[in-house]
Amino acid sequence: MVSALAKLELKRGSLLDEWTEYAQTCSEDDDDFVEMVFAAIDDKLAATESEISVIKTHCSATPDEIQAAINAHETALNDSIAIAMGTLFYVDRHEKAHKAAMTKLRRLRS
């Protein structure tokens, strides 16, 4: 239950960061779009906070245990992102090498 709470707390923080980022960068030229974006984020935030309140009523973990679980989940998430990005760079580098080899082969055959 602590890990689920940690995941939701991290998601809430991410949504709040997203809301703040949009608030700082949005222009008032397109009020309908801005309103739609904020409404979508607010809906996700409300659903997340509702789930958090339900889990907190059943969770007996201390705030320190919850924070430790949040930190562990955030570390795992960041590690997964780093691995995924590294994989993309690896594939991209080898794809370029493959294309270069195929180009050389085509030139040699012609």
Distance separating alpha carbons of residues 92 and 83, to the nearest angstrom = 14
Predicted TM-score (pTM) of the model is: 0.64
Classify residue 88: in a domain, yes or no: no
How many folded domains does the chain comprise?
1
Is residue 28 a part of any domain in this protein? yes
Tokens linked to 93: 């580098």
Domain contains 87 = no
Q: Is residue 63 part of a domain?
A: yes
Neighbour-count burial for 42-74, b at 16+ CB within 10 Å, e otherwise: eebbeebeebbeebeeeeebeeeebeebbeebb
Residue 26 Rama label (left phi>0; alpha psi -120 to 50; beta)? beta
Q: Is residue 58 part of a domain?
A: yes
Which range of residues forms the domain containing residue 43? 2-79
75-96 pLDDT per residue, tens: 988 888 888 888 878 887 788 8
Q: Which two tokens stand for residue 78?
A: 């960041």
Domain assignment present for 97: no
Q: Does residue 110 lie within any of the structural domains? A: no
- Can you tell me whether residue 61 is helix, strand or coil? coil
Per-residue pLDDT tens for 3-44? 888 989 989 998 999 888 888 877 666 677 788 888 899 999
In a domain, 35, yes or no: yes
pLDDT band at 110 (very low <50, low <70, confident <90, very high): low
Kindly report, residue by residue over 40-59, the tens digit of the pLDDT: 999 999 999 999 999 988 88
70-79: average pLDDT? 90
CA 67/CA 56 separation, integer angstroms: 13
* HSE value, Cβ hemisphere, 13 Å, CA-based, for 71: 6
